[in-house]
Amino acid sequence: MKVVLFCGGLGTRLREHTEMVPKPMVNIGQRPILWHLMMYYAHFGHREFILCLGYMGESIKQYFINYAEWISNDFRLSGPGNEIHLFNRDIAEWKITFADTGRNANIGQRLRAVQPYLGEDSTFLANYSDGLSDLPLGDYLDSFAKKDKIASFVSVHPHHSFHTVTAGADHLVQKLTPANRSDLRINGGFFAFKREIFDYLRAGEDLVEEPFQRLLADQQLLAYPHDGFWACMDTFKDKKGFDEMYMRDEMPWQLWRPRS
């Protein structure tokens, strides 16, 4: 199943890093968040990727063209020519399509631009490319297939430290709840689509605004709840949180790593 990854946004709320690289290329440890996400999908057997490029898309192309597997794999160095023998490989089985979808295009326009690269696939995956999760992808896709709808996204609790507020008519606060412990759920940016999604997506439209309203009206839109780990990289604080998890070696999204 092909995976469409939206990699073209400006990432203005992470400007400390995105003035140098696009947001999907901001590192967590030695590798960019985009790599972590692609490793997640590859772990479940989905190794055909379509990258929707825009802002600084050339840096993503250069990263994979010049990809050095020894950075994230054990290897042996030998011989006078410094021959490298890898004990493991990351991306040898991946197929990556690089598609320039416009510097200022919205998500819907980017998706329409890569429709020809989906071939005849009846179902495909998509992702905003700025969040990571330990979502059991097989369970999610099984549920999507059984319910036989056109579109689905994963709904999660927000991880930011704001609070939801319930107040009465006199403005007295009745309830104050941390958002991540409230009933509030948001779109986590992990999608599954049937190709009929393109019947609902018109030229110039963003993905969620108009098309999702049409899907909702036709009862063709699903929200799959996930209460496990999910976090996105929107701000400098989010980046710091990922760095701290990396330093503690606590990265729950890395399902491909052997568990002790």
Nearest-Å Rg of the Cα atoms of the chain is 20
Q: What is the pLDDT of residues 193-239, one digit of tens each?
A: 999 999 999 999 999 999 999 999 999 999 999 999 999 998 888 99
> What size, in residues, is the chain?
260
Q: What is the pLDDT of residues 7-52, one digit of tens each?
A: 987 655 555 545 677 889 999 999 999 999 999 999 999 999 999 9
Q: Cα–Cα distances in Å, from 131 out to 143, 188, 233?
A: 21, 8, 6
pLDDT of residue 12: 53
Q: What is the pLDDT of residues 64-121, one digit of tens each?
A: 998 887 777 787 888 777 788 777 778 889 999 999 999 999 999 999 999 999 999 9
Beta strands in the chain (DSSP E): 2-7, 27-28, 31-32, 48-53, 75-78, 83-86, 95-100, 123-127, 131-133, 151-156, 163-167, 173-178, 186-194, 221-225, 230-232
Q: Which two tokens stand for residue 138?
A: 């097989």
For residues 174-189, one letter each, b for 16 or more C-beta atoms within 10 angstroms of the residue's C-beta and e for the rest, the string is eeeeebbebeebbebb
Domain ranges of the chain: 2-158+185-247
DSSP H stretches of helix in 1-157: 15-18, 33-43, 57-65, 107-113, 137-147
Question: Which class in CATH covers the domain with range 2-158+185-247?
Answer: alpha beta
Pair 62, 17: CB distance under 8 Å = no
